[in-house]
Amino acid sequence: MNDRAGETVLRLSGIEKGYNRGKPNEVKVLRGCDLTVARGEVVALVAPSGAGKSTLLHIAGLLDTPDAGTVEIAGEALQDKSDRRRTLVRRAEVGFVYQFHHLLPEFSALENIMVPQLANGVARGAAEARARELLDSVGVGARADHRPAAMSGGEQQRVAFCRAMANGPKLLLADEPTGNLDPETSDRVFSALMQLVQETGLSALIATHNLELAARMDRRVRMNGGLLTAG
């Protein structure tokens, strides 16, 4: 019996999205995107700049709503749910990593990873223990008390992964997570990410321009003309 392996963690169906709707300068970005990501699967989202990757990731991560189509996370349809329900699911089930780490500059690495846990109702001691464990797992435990500005780009990005993983999400969404790093650092950070994903059985949708990194993921989808195709 292999039900869990077959579980769909993310299902996007018929997603459409435009900006400036109804105005003469309307930009129709997504024209009916379909995508499923199974439990434990790492999918590369490959697309040229401006194709709509960020738009799709924001919709998948419940940060934005589609004009049409459905978004299911762990089997729950969320496109029409209340803001409160969407926020709860986002906090508990979704982790985000951005191209530029977006860490809070006035907080230490440790605190950056504690913040989402505290917002999710985790007790302080448990949040700190989890943060330390995550930092150790990606080799930056010694930087726990440092602020982002005192760390290298690769270290900052590993801290950003830890923050995304803090609440034990089912789904990791990453928008060019190694895009601002040099090739060697990018490779190291990506390997740390893949290891974390494999150890935790997480599902991930990772947008990248880097075809070598895309080739190391389980599956690739390409975005073109507002649609997704297997690639």
Q: What does the binding site for ligand ATP look like in residue numbers (CB under 6 A)?
A: 19-20, 27, 29, 47, 49-55
CB of 117 to ligand ATP, least distance (A): 28
Choose among 155, 157, 165: nearest CA to 200.
165
| CA atoms in the 13 A half-sphere facing the CB of 178 | 24
The DSSP bridge partners found for residue 90 are none
Smaller CB separation from ligand ATP, 27 or 142 = 27
How far does Cα 219 stand from its chain's mean position?
A: 16
Of the two residues 26 and 76, which places its CB atom closer to ligand ATP in the complex? 26
Structural tokens at position 131: 């943060």
Closest distance of CB 29 from ligand ATP, Å: 4
Min dist CB 124 to ligand ATP, Å, is: 36
Is the Cβ of residue 55 or residue 203 nearer to ligand ATP in the bound state?
Answer: 55
Q: Are 16 and 179 a contacting pair, CB within 8 Å?
A: no
Shortest approach of ligand ATP to residue 211 CB, angstroms?
15
Please identify, using beta-carbon distances, which residue of 51 and 162 lies nearer to ligand ATP: 51
At CA 53, angle to CA 50 and CA 55, rounded to 5?
A: 95
